[in-house]
């Protein structure tokens, strides 16, 4: 009988007691991820979300060095901004070739890329990813959002400055997209996530947008050289405007050389000066180069790890008989070299006269017979993960070298070129003086100084000063030499001696993936 | 009631008293139970009707029931797969002898088949369900349960994921229904729905279940059978029932096996001499200078002959009418890849008590296992293919543990090692201690209550859990090349080695309750069987974070969070109606409403209905007396099922996730960990598959020949596909959302035949054939004729290289390749491909779709011959129409790989001698030259057994067996093994050939 009761009690428990467990709802929350309300509840949270907008330049994802990428559909190690940008700007020109066989990588130098090229896709999505992050931050940091979250006073002022910088970063990426792809979807903070289908804007519209944004944010940005390291100030905004205006004729058909001179001049007048040794510009401790660098992407061997960025630039050019330890790394990746055109711009290959001539020649052939053979073509030793004293960076696998997005030399060169191209306000003597400031540093004395300058000289001087910093394709296009037969380099267009290619290749194609995803997009001509 | 029970107790004591009093006069009934061939049937049960008194036949088929008073008894002998036989006997003064001669049930038509939330007689099935019971399992050294039914079920392909100890399998029922979500079927063990997520430290989730404890597999294939499982049923359902206790005398079963596993085939690579010749012919002086003198066969060095033991002991019987089964097992399995092993101790207990005159039945199962494993570093498999055979294993000095390694020419290099070169395969194996310790327990308590006032109504409640803890350590000594001087600390001191931990705990809970009402309505010649229930499933995992530490205890990185606890919950309501009219027409309707925590409240619930009709044509008057045709049934079913496995738990709503410390960004002097907005899709919802199934069950000659034919058409819509998002409109350029459609269709045919039945010789064969094709019918929101599909199938060679596409109008994961051009000598011409679009340039627009990895036809064949005490069984499988990408050829069989541009030598596939490819370009890896026909015929298993019958003075029976697994493979495929999950063959752990000797003792 007792047993009977026990059994009955057991049935009751089993049938009904368990219903308690059913009351648990289906609303489950992640353990570690947090909602936007929590992120943006404090000024510190704003800073961490803001830092992501910058961090999207340097990192490939949320897990260093890899494992949780931002951009999908491309190998994460190759999906950061600089590595992709560098490939698109340099591998397609006389300044660089690469030995590897990754699908699509040889398309750059062979100049036969298509809309499905994985690296062009990666760059496009990386740029627009940073735009999307910036848009989100701009939305979240609007004044009404701040007041609704009870953020006011100095905190609110700081966040307003963050907001202006987010708009700068967005403008920068739109400049990249404008330069590379021309006619791209224009999304701003008013386009809500997952709601609107981005609309394509033509190159002129994007140009006008970048220009207007940079001008609009100027008052809200910090004075030159007054912001935290790694953050944009007025000078960065001016420098981008100067670059934009220098290429305005390519982008819009309208010359804006006077404006280029104006904005380059504003940066030059803001108190910057060249550091004294050119060979220090791309070293592990180049964070010290604040007199020359206007805005940098910051890398750190321990805390900002990825397989792209300057880790790529310090590893990929090391191979053959080069000593990895000279580069502060545990071993090279045996990939990138240059064609003979670049070393031939210098008086010698060893940097004896012009210190900017940084090549490794031992066991390397000047002539390239086979792009896939590392020893064909001189290696470039500009990027090294060692300090000025030669000590290795913090990590042998990830670079400490910061990458200057803008540095003073470029402003001198823009001033000079825009002046030669007839921009009003430019003074030729000043231009020559600026060029000689660059050359004086390069030679260590006045022996390399010039008395006159020409446009062709400026192009060569840009190569000598700015090679492997991501300018070459844009420069060659501005000079009409990128696709044409007026200027050839080994394996240009995939043939040994080089050849011209179709002019439509002055703009990269919109990636097939986005054409599929966004049927309102129209492909660039020729692709 | 109280009164009533008092009476019962009184009666009980009275009976007790009487039985004591007449003890001297009790009688017994004894006898022998034999089968249709007069072979004894150990384990057959003889029950006195209307009582709990029963006896199980011993090894000689003898049963004995004692303590009976004189009187008339009805005895019923029963055994699984045989028709129960009642006999009436009257005992007076003497003991009685009653023998039974059981006949196999007509192709087991009365066999009970486990379906979702209940059972049904096989003859009353309306859906497509295949049951495989223990007598038909694959034999030999089976360490993961699903391998028991490989090749046994039409429409089910089971591909082992390599030959590592305890390696799991990829199970596909009718090819699976998804592209980006899971294609794994739902597996239910004794009412516990398993999660398909793996357990840390376990080679596979199912490997922790002892195959010896399994009684039957029920494979539910069509939607009318699976829809009762609703949202988790699109890929089929496999219900595993473990062995239960029986009434009667305890039966002890002891099984022991020893197995010897050997590598069946090496990857053909160049020998030391061949490599020397190749480099001298093709390499520069610098490369020639790298050659050594040795002739090392690296594959021979990394593999071993592995000897394993598996011992199992079970006791089943009744303890005071409480049926129980207890088993213990111990598996000691060594891998053929040196250093790897798996030790698994397992135990299971089952009790099935009944109370209150059988009104309450309890079924309690607890299974536990504890395994200790060391995982051999599978990186050694690829390294053994590509490591230079002209180099010795040992360097002759102490550096790097004494192993020969490729050294950097730069003496000041931090590691001294050649960067990016492969590491010594033996070093990789012997210098990595990856050990795990996993405990798991699965259990359930199921209560079935037959209502006192309404015996046709049952309430059934089931509590289940699946709890596990997996933890382990990865230790690599500081001398190992793999992690030599891998970390430089703030004082510029280098530290090497690894000393890391991992740990995961899982607690999955199940609660199910249903009411079942079954009633024969004789007045209208009908029967109804109704089920209505509720279920709750919770899957909670806790992953602990640990720092990355070097051998000397230096911390390289610390985890962002101490732990993460992903969890998801399902709530379900379900119902089923079975209606039978005139025992000829069967109707089944099911409905299930599921809610998942993985979707936003707007899309959280979905309803999955199904309906089926079956017509037992054989029961019609025009066939009833047909002697040739013994069974004929037509089945038609349609149903909707869903799918949400394989989705992230929270991605329907916006969140921010914090970056790791190593992904911080510097602003000013501070490094900030970053808040990244996570891509989300608020509109995400269930994948839905609509399946139509038409089937015929047939039987001839009283079931000597029987089988079924099924045809199905499965259309999955709202496929969770990884789509490219319009740039700028989301926080990721790709995410998983409901976008695609896919069609699966196929025909399945199964036949079993008792070819020979005689006194000494019996021969059974079973054959099944499946034709299955799938086609992606939609992949993007907007149809785009120029779309090139979504890239899948990453391969080795270059960064981010993919070889397959999901492409509208094509089978899933079709290969997307360049068309190789061949010379007059039949050899591929390096870097020359067909300009398929004729635009004068070879670029990705010339890629084309070529073949697919899924087989078009799958065949399974089993044969079992018994001659007197001998038994010979074979199992064969074949796949045809499947292609594989030979990644071993493409990534190692080129000159550019052997003469590595980074300045070292690799070995490579011997195919390089045949193809002569250089492979320095970026297209070679995408050549269709590497897509090869991987059709095959395999003999999985051949076994020979001998049954000694009675031994040890008739107290026990003994049988022994010898078994070969992976006997042979017939294929034109040029790699080592054509059976490649997913179609990319890149150095999988080779499946060994295994010789097994077993002994079985029952007493």
What string of DSSP letters covers B849-904? E---SS-SEEEEEEEEEEETTEEEEEEEEEEES-EEEEHHHHHHSSHHHHEETTTE
- The nearest CA of chain B is from the CA of A185 a distance in Å of 8
Query: Comparing C-alpha atoms, which of B526, B531, B687 is closest to residue B603?
Result: B687
Residues of A in contact with B735 (CB under 8 A): 72
- The nearest CA of chain B is from the CA of A71 a distance in Å of 6
Say if A513 is an interface residue toward chain B (CB within 8 Å). Answer: yes
> Of B447, B666, B674, which has the smallest distance from its Cβ to A11's Cβ?
B447
> Of A21, A298, A517, which has the smallest distance from its Cβ to B723's Cβ?
A517
CA pair distance A125, B760, nearest whole angstrom? 74
Contact across the interface for B561 and A31, Cβ inside 8 Å: yes
Say if A14 is an interface residue toward chain B (CB within 8 Å). Answer: yes
What residues pair up with B700 in beta bridges, in sequence order? B629, B705
- The nearest CA of chain A is from the CA of B781 a distance in Å of 8
Three-class secondary structure assignment of A54-76: HHHHHCCECCCCCCCECCCCCCH
Give the per-residue pLDDT at B11: 45
Give the per-residue pLDDT at B20: 43
Give chain A's end-to-end CA distance (angstroms, integer): 87
Say if A37 is an interface residue toward chain B (CB within 8 Å). Answer: no
Say if A482 is an interface residue toward chain B (CB within 8 Å). Answer: no
Report the chain B residue with the minimal C-alpha distance to residue A76.
Answer: B800
Residues of B in contact with A27 (CB under 8 A): 597, 601
CA pair distance B689, B678, nearest whole angstrom? 29
Contact across the interface for A319 and B674, Cβ inside 8 Å: no
Find out whether A372 and B920 touch, Cβ atoms under 8 Å: yes
Handedness of CA A231, A234, A235, A241 (dihedral sign): positive
Q: What residues of chain A, 337 to 356, have a C-beta less than 8 Å from chain B?
A: none
Contact across the interface for A136 and B677, Cβ inside 8 Å: yes
Report the chain A residue with the minimal C-alpha distance to residue B557.
Answer: A302
Contact across the interface for B730 and A392, Cβ inside 8 Å: no
Say if B669 is an interface residue toward chain A (CB within 8 Å). Answer: yes
Contact across the interface for B563 and A31, Cβ inside 8 Å: yes
Contact across the interface for A517 and B490, Cβ inside 8 Å: no
- The nearest CA of chain B is from the CA of A255 a distance in Å of 30
Contact across the interface for A21 and B509, Cβ inside 8 Å: yes
- The nearest CA of chain A is from the CA of B488 a distance in Å of 6
Residues of B in contact with A116 (CB under 8 A): 788, 844-845
Q: Is residue B311 classed as helix, strand or coil in its secondary structure?
A: strand
Residues of A in contact with B558 (CB under 8 A): none
What residues pair up with B309 in beta bridges, in sequence order? B258, B332
Say if B413 is an interface residue toward chain A (CB within 8 Å). Answer: yes
Token digits of residue A242: 């100067």
Say if A389 is an interface residue toward chain B (CB within 8 Å). Answer: no
- The nearest CA of chain B is from the CA of A311 a distance in Å of 14
CA pair distance B948, B422, nearest whole angstrom? 54
CA pair distance B716, B180, nearest whole angstrom? 12
Give the per-residue pLDDT at A24: 55
pTM listed for this prediction: 0.86
Burial class (CB in 10 A: 0-12, 13-18, 19+), B696: middle
CA pair distance A318, A333, nearest whole angstrom? 6
**Residue A429 — φ and ψ, nearest 5°?**
-60, -40
Q: Classify strands B100-101 and B27-34 as parallel, antiparallel or unpaired.
A: parallel
Say if A148 is an interface residue toward chain B (CB within 8 Å). Answer: no
State the residue for tokens 């010898």.
B962
pLDDT > 90 fraction of chain A, expressed in percent and rounded: 85
Token digits of residue B342: 């798996």
Find out whether B774 and B854 touch, Cβ atoms under 8 Å: yes
Give the per-residue pLDDT at B385: 94
Q: What residues of chain B, 467 to 526, have a C-beta less than 8 Å from chain A?
A: 485, 487-488, 490, 492, 509, 511, 513
Contact across the interface for B649 and A28, Cβ inside 8 Å: yes
> Of B492, B567, B734, which has the smallest distance from its Cβ to A28's Cβ?
B567
State the residue for tokens 């095959």.
B936
Q: How many CB pairs under 8 A join A and B?
A: 366
Average pLDDT of the residues of chain A: 93
CA pair distance B803, B141, nearest whole angstrom? 35
Number of residues assigned to chain A: 527
Contact across the interface for A228 and B667, Cβ inside 8 Å: yes
Say if B626 is an interface residue toward chain A (CB within 8 Å). Answer: no
CA pair distance B730, B677, nearest whole angstrom? 10
Q: What residues of chain A, 437 to 476, have a C-beta less than 8 Å from chain B?
A: none
Q: How confident is the model at residue A16 (pLDDT cuts 50, 70, 90)?
A: low
Q: Residue A511's CB: how many other CB atoms inside 10 A?
A: 28
Which region among A85-94, A95-104, B415-424 has the lowest average model confidence (pLDDT)?
B415-424
Contact across the interface for B676 and A304, Cβ inside 8 Å: no
Low-confidence ranges of chain B (pLDDT < 50): 1-3, 6, 8-24, 107
Query: Comparing C-alpha atoms, which of B627, B616, B613, B617 is closest to residue B578?
Result: B613
Give the per-residue pLDDT at B19: 42
Residues of A in contact with B511 (CB under 8 A): 18, 21-22
Handedness of CA A85, A88, A90, A96 (dihedral sign): positive
Say if B787 is an interface residue toward chain A (CB within 8 Å). Answer: yes
Report the chain A residue with the minimal C-alpha distance to residue B903.
Answer: A320
Q: Give residue-wise pLDDT tens across range B874-930.
A: 999 999 999 999 999 999 999 999 998 888 999 999 999 999 999 888 899 999 999
| Gyration radius of chain B's alpha carbons | 32
Residues of B in contact with A394 (CB under 8 A): 488, 490
**Residue B318 per-residue DSSP state:** E
Give the per-residue pLDDT at A14: 56
Q: What residues of chain B, 873 to 902, have a C-beta less than 8 Å from chain A?
A: 896, 901-902
CA pair distance B298, B871, nearest whole angstrom? 40
Q: Is the pLDDT of residue A397 over 70?
A: yes
Query: Comparing C-alpha atoms, which of B30, B133, B108 is closest to residue B73?
Result: B30
Q: Residue B957's CB: how many other CB atoms inside 10 A?
A: 20
Residues of A in contact with B733 (CB under 8 A): 71-73, 125, 128-129, 513
- The nearest CA of chain A is from the CA of B258 a distance in Å of 42
Go through B21-59 and write b for each residue having 16 or more CB atoms within 10 A of its CB, e for each that does not.
Answer: eeeeeebebbbbbbbeeeebbbbbbbbbeeeebbbbbbb
CA distances from B530 to B217, B233, B533 (A): 24, 21, 10
Identify each DSSP E strand in B180-334 by its residue range. 186-189, 192-193, 214-220, 237-242, 251-262, 306-319, 322-334
Residues of A in contact with B843 (CB under 8 A): 107, 112-114
Give the per-residue pLDDT at B651: 83
Which region among A377-391, A407-421, B98-112, B244-258 has the lowest average model confidence (pLDDT)?
B98-112
Contact across the interface for B922 and A1, Cβ inside 8 Å: no
Q: Is the pLDDT of residue A10 over 70?
A: no
Interface test with A, best of B791, B799, B817, B837 (most A CBs within 10 A): B799
Which region among A19-28, A386-395, B211-220, B600-609 has the lowest average model confidence (pLDDT)?
A19-28
Interface test with B, best of A48, A362, A401 (most B CBs within 10 A): A48
Query: Is it true that the peptide bond before A65 is cis, omega within 30 degrees of 0?
Result: yes
């Amino acid at each position: 009988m007792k047993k009977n009761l026990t059994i009955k009690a057991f049935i009751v428990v089993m049938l009904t007691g368990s219903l308690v467990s059913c009351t648990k709802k289906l609303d489950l929350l992640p353990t570690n991820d947090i909602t936007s309300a929590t992120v943006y509840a404090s000024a510190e949270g704003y800073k961490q979300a803001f830092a992501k907008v910058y961090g999207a330049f340097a990192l490939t994802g949320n897990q260093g060095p890899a494992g949780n990428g931002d951009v999908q559909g491309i190998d994460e190690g190759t999906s950061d901004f600089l590595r992709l940008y560098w490939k698109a700007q340099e591998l397609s020109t006389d300044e660089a070739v690469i030995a590897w066989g990754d699908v699509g990588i040889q398309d750059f130098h062979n100049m036969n890329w298509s809309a499905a090229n994985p690296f062009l896709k990666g760059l496009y999505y990386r740029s627009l990813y940073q735009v999307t992050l910036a848009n989100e931050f701009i939305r979240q940091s609007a004044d009404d959002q701040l007041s609704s979250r009870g953020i006011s006073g100095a905190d609110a002022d700081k966040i307003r400055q963050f907001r202006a910088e987010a708009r700068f970063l967005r403008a920068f990426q739109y400049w990249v997209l404008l330069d590379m792809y021309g006619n791209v979807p224009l999304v701003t903070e008013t386009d809500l996530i997952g709601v609107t289908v981005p609309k394509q804007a033509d190159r002129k519209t994007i140009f006008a947008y970048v220009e207007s944004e940079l001008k609009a944010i100027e008052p809200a940005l910090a004075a030159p050289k007054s912001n935290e390291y790694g953050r944009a100030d007025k000078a960065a905004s001016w420098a981008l405007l100067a670059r934009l205006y220098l290429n305005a004729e390519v982008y819009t058909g309208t010359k804006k050389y006077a404006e280029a001179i104006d904005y380059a001049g504003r940066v030059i007048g803001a108190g910057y000066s060249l550091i004294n040794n050119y060979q220090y510009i791309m070293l592990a401790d180049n964070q010290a180069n604040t007199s020359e660098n206007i805005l940098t992407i910051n890398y750190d061997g321990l805390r900002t790890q990825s397989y792209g960025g300057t880790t790529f630039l310090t590893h990929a050019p090391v191979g053959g008989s080069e000593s990895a330890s000279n580069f502060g790394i545990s071993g090279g990746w045996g990939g990138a070299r240059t064609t003979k055109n670049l070393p031939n711009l210098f008086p010698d290959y060893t940097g004896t006269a012009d210190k900017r001539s940084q090549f490794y020649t031992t066991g390397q052939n000047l002539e390239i017979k086979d792009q896939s053979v590392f020893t064909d073509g001189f290696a470039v030793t500009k990027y090294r993960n060692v300090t000025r004293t030669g000590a290795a960076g913090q990590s042998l696998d990830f670079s400490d070298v910061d990458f200057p997005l803008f540095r003073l030399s470029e402003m001198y060169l823009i001033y000079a070129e825009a002046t030669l191209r007839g921009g009003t306000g430019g003074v030729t003597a000043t231009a020559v003086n600026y060029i000689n400031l660059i050359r004086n540093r390069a030679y260590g004395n006045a022996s390399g100084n010039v008395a006159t300058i020409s446009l062709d000289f400026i192009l060569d001087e840009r190569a000598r000063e700015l090679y492997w910093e991501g300018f070459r394709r844009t420069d060659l296009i501005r000079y009409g030499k990128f696709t044409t037969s007026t200027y050839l380099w080994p394996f240009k267009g995939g043939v040994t001696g080089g050849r011209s290619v179709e002019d439509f290749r002055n703009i990269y194609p919109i990636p097939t993936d986005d054409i599929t995803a966004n049927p309102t997009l129209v492909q660039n001509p020729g692709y | 009631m109280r009164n009533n029970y008092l009476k019962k107790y009184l009666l009980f004591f009275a009976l007790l008293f009487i039985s004591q009093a007449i003890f001297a006069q009790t009688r017994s009934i004894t006898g022998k139970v034999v089968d249709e061939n007069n072979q004894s049937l150990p384990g057959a049960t003889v029950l006195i009707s209307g009582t709990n008194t029963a006896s199980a036949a011993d090894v000689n088929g003898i049963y004995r029931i004692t303590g009976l008073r004189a009187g008339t008894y009805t005895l019923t002998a029963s055994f699984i797969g045989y028709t129960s036989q009642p006999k009436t006997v009257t005992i007076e003064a003497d003991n009685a002898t009653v023998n039974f001669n059981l006949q196999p049930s007509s192709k087991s038509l009365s066999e009970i088949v486990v379906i979702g939330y209940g059972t049904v007689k096989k003859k009353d099935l309306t859906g497509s369900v295949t049951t495989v019971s223990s007598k038909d399992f694959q034999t030999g050294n089976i360490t993961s349960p699903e391998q028991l039914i490989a090749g046994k079920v039409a429409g089910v392909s089971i591909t082992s994921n390599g030959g590592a100890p305890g390696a799991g399998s990829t199970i596909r029922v009718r090819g699976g229904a998804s592209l980006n979500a899971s294609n794994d079927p739902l597996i239910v063990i004794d009412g516990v729905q398993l999660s398909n997520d793996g357990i840390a430290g376990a080679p596979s989730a199912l490997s922790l279940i002892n195959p010896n404890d399994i009684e039957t597999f029920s494979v539910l294939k069509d939607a009318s059978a699976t829809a009762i499982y609703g949202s988790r049923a699109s890929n089929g359902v496999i219900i595993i029932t473990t062995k239960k206790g029986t009434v009667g005398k305890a039966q002890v079963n002891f099984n022991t096996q020893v197995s010897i596993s050997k590598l069946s085939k090496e990857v053909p690579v160049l020998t030391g001499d061949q490599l020397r010749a190749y480099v001298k012919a093709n390499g520069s002086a610098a490369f020639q200078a790298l050659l050594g003198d040795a002739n090392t066969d690296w594959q021979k060095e990394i593999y071993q002959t592995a000897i394993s033991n598996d011992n199992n002991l079970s006791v089943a019987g009744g303890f005071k009418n409480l049926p129980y089964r207890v088993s213990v097992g111990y598996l000691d399995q060594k891998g053929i890849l040196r250093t790897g092993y798996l030790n698994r101790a397992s135990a299971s207990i089952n009790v099935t008590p009944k109370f209150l005159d059988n009104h309450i039945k309890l079924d309690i199962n607890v299974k536990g296992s504890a395994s200790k494993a060391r995982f051999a570093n599978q990186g050694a498999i690829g390294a053994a293919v590509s490591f230079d055979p002209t180099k010795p294993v040992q360097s002759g000095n102490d550096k790097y543990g004494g192993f020969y390694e490729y050294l950097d020419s730069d003496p000041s290099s931090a590691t001294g090692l050649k960067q990016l070169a492969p590491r010594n395969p033996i070093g990789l194996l012997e210098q990595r201690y990856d050990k795990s310790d996993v405990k798991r327990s699965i259990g359930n308590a199921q209560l079935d209550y037959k209502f006192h006032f309404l015996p046709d109504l049952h309430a059934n409640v089931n509590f289940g859990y699946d709890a596990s803890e997996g933890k382990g350590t990865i230790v690599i000594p500081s001398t190992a090349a793999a992690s030599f001087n891998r970390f430089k600390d703030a004082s510029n001191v280098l530290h090497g080695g690894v000393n890391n931990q991992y740990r995961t705990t899982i607690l999955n809970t199940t609660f199910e309750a249903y009411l079942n009402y079954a009633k024969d309505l004789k007045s209208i010649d009908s029967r109804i069987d109704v089920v209505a229930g509720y279920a709750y499933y919770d899957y909670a995992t806790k992953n602990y974070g640990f720092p990355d530490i070097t051998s000397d205890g230096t911390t390289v990185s610390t985890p962002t969070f101490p732990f993460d606890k992903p969890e998801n919950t399902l709530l379900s309501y379900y119902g089923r109606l079975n209606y039978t009219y005139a025992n000829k027409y069967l109707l089944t309707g099911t409905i299930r409403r599921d809610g998942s925590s993985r979707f936003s409240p707007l899309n959280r619930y979905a309803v999955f209905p199904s309906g089926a009709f079956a017509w037992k044509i054989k029961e019609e008057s025009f066939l009833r007396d047909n002697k040739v045709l013994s069974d004929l049934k037509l089945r038609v079913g349609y149903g909707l099922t869903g799918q949400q496995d394989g989705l992230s738990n929270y991605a329907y709503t916006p969140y921010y996730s914090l970056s790791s410390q190593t992904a911080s960004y510097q602003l000013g002097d501070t490094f900030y960990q970053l808040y990244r907005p996570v891509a989300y899709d608020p509109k995400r919802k269930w994948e839905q598959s609509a399946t139509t199934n038409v089937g015929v069950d047939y039987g001839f000659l009283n079931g000597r020949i029987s089988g079924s034919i099924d045809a199905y058409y499965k259309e999955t819509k709202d496929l969770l596909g990884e789509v490219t998002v319009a740039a700028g409109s989301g926080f990721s350029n790709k995410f998983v959302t409901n976008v695609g459609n896919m069609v699966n269709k196929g025909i399945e045919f199964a036949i079993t035949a008792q070819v020979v039945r005689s006194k000494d010789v019996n021969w059974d064969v079973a054959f099944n054939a499946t034709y299955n094709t799938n086609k992606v019918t939609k992949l993007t929101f907007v149809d785009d004729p120029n779309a090139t599909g979504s890239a899948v199938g990453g391969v080795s060679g270059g960064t981010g290289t993919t070889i397959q596409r999901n492409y509208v109008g094509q089978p899933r994961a079709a290969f997307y390749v360049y068309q190789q051009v061949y010379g007059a000598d039949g050899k591929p011409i390096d870097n020359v491909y067909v300009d398929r679009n004729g635009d004068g340039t070879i670029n990705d627009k010339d890629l084309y779709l070529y073949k697919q990895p899924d087989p078009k036809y799958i065949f399974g064949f089993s044969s079992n011959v018994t001659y007197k005490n001998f038994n010979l069984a074979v199992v064969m499988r074949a796949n045809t129409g499947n292609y594989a990408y030979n990644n071993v050829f493409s990534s190692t069989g080129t000159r550019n790989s052997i003469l590595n541009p980074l300045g070292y030598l690799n070995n490579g596939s011997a195919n390089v001698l045949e193809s002569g490819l250089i492979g320095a370009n970026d297209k070679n890896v995408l050549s269709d030259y590497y897509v090869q026909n991987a059709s095959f015929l395999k003999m999985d298993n051949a076994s020979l057994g001998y049954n000694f019958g009675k031994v040890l003075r008739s107290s026990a029976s003994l049988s022994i067996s010898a078994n070969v697994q992976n006997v042979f493979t017939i294929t034109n495929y040029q790699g080592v093994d054509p059976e490649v999950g997913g179609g990319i063959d890149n150095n999988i752990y080779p499946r060994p050939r295994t010789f097994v000797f077993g002994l079985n003792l029952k007493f």
